[in-house]
Amino acid sequence: MSLSYRPKLTSFNGHSWTTPQELPFTIYPGGCGLTTFTDRAGHEVLFCTYIDPQTKQFSWASSDNGTQWLLGGTDPNHKAGGVISARYTGNQIVSISGSGPLITTATRWTVSTDGNHWTTPKPPGQHVFPAWTSLTEYDGHLVHSFVARSDNAQHSVYDGIEWSAPGTTIPPLHEAAGKIPGVIGFGGLLYHMTKNEKADGISYWTFDGEGWSGRQELPTSQWQVRSQPRLGVYHDQLVCTFNTSRNDTHCLSWTQYDSNTRTWSPVQQASHAFNTLGAAQLTYWHTRLYAVLTPLMIANSESPAGETVPGTVPQSPAS
C-alpha cells in the first residue's frame, strides 16, 4: 500500500487564516510545491507540483479561483521521492524534487513555460545539491538555498538557463537547525531563518547584497517551536509561519514583521482546525497569502541556522 496524504489549502488576509480545505488530489509524503503561474491566456493561477503516490511520478494541478482545481497531468519520465519547492520566475516554473525516496538524496530540477510540458529532470548544473533545499527570489534572481554535508548553508543562483556554482555563505550550523532553509527575499534583504537550539524561538540572518548580518532572534514567548519556519510576503509585511505547542495545543502559528516599524508582532496561534498541520510552502496571489498544508511529520522540513560571518550570495553564471 502506497503512503499518501491529501494536502489542504488556507489563505491569509493580514489578520487570520481561513479554515483549511482539502485539495482534490493526494501526494506522496515528500513535500508539495505552491507558486503562481501566468498561463497563455494571461490569467494568473495558483499552481501546485507534487508526486503522485501511486506512480511516484511528478504531477501538477492549477486553480484560477483557489477552490476548484484542474489536474494537469503527470510526467512518466520524471519519478521522484517528493517535490520540495516550486517558484515562478520570469516565464518559467522551476520545480525542485528529490531523486530518491522521502527526498533523502540529491535534487533534480525541471522547468515548464506553459504549465503542461516539462524539461527532462537533471541535477542543477555540474553540482550535486542535497535534497533538503528551498527556492526563493532575491534581487531579480531565483536563489536555491540548502545545507551541505559540511553543515554550511549554501546558495546557488539561476539565471534562466543554468545554476551558478554554490557559494558558502554561513559557516557550520548548530545541531538543532535541521536541513531545509526558511528563506525569502523581502525589503531588499535575503532572510535566512530557523528554530533555535532550545526550540523556544526563531533565529535569523539577513543578506544585503554584500554580507550577512549577525544572528538575530525572533522570540516566541512561552510557545515551544515544533517545526522550521516557512516564509511569505503579505503586502509590506513579512509573514513567518511555524508550528508551536503549549499545554497540549499543537498547531500552526505565525508572526509578522512590519517593514515600516521594523518590529515583529506577537506570535498568534491558529484554530484547532490547524492541529498537526504545517505550511509546506507559501505564495501571494490575488490579494491574499496562500499556504499549502501537510501533516507536521511531512511539513517538518527543517532549516539551517548558526552564527554567521560576512559572505556573498554567488553571482549568476556569466553569459
Q: Whole-angstrom Cα distance, residue 267 to residue 248?
A: 17
Domain membership flag for residue 312: no
Residue 186 pLDDT greater than 90, yes or no: yes
pLDDT band per the 50, 70, 90 thresholds, residue 304: very low
> Which amino acid is it at 27?
I
Number of domains in the chain: 1
**Residue with the larger pLDDT of the pair 134 and 232:** 232
Q: What percent of the chain has pLDDT over 90?
A: 21
Q: Whole-angstrom Cα distance, residue 87 to residue 157?
A: 13
**Residue with the larger pLDDT of the pair 182 and 286:** 286
Domain membership flag for residue 291: yes
Q: Whole-angstrom Cα distance, residue 155 to residue 166?
A: 5
**Residue with the larger pLDDT of the pair 124 and 312:** 124
Domain membership flag for residue 308: no
Domain that holds residue 210: 8-299
Domain membership flag for residue 313: no
pLDDT in tens, 3-41: 778 899 999 999 999 999 999 998 876 678 899 988 878
In whole angstroms, what separates CA 219 from the centre of its chain? 21
Domain membership flag for residue 252: yes
Q: What is the CATH number of the domain that holds 27?
A: 2.120.10.80
Domain membership flag for residue 319: no
Among 157-161, 202-206, 308-312, the range scoring the smallest mean pLDDT is 308-312
Question: Hey, is 59 helix, strand or coil?
Answer: strand
pLDDT in tens, 227-249: 888 999 999 899 999 888 766 66
pLDDT band per the 50, 70, 90 thresholds, residue 306: very low
Domain membership flag for residue 40: yes
Q: Whole-angstrom Cα distance, residue 282 to residue 109?
A: 19
Structure confidence at residue 303 (pLDDT): 29
Structure confidence at residue 81 (pLDDT): 65
Residue 119 pLDDT greater than 80, yes or no: yes
Answer for the pair 37, 62: CB distance below 8 angstroms, yes or no: yes
Residue 99 pLDDT greater than 70, yes or no: no
pLDDT band per the 50, 70, 90 thresholds, residue 176: very low
Q: What is the largest CA-CA distance in the chain?
A: 56
Nearest alpha-carbon partner for 2 in 54, 80, 59 = 54
Distance (Å) of CA 113 to CA 88, 92, 110, 173, 304: 9, 5, 11, 37, 31
Domain membership flag for residue 310: no
Structure confidence at residue 287 (pLDDT): 93
Mean pLDDT of 164-169: 66
pLDDT in tens, 187-239: 999 998 887 776 677 888 888 888 888 888 887 767 788 788 899 999 989 99
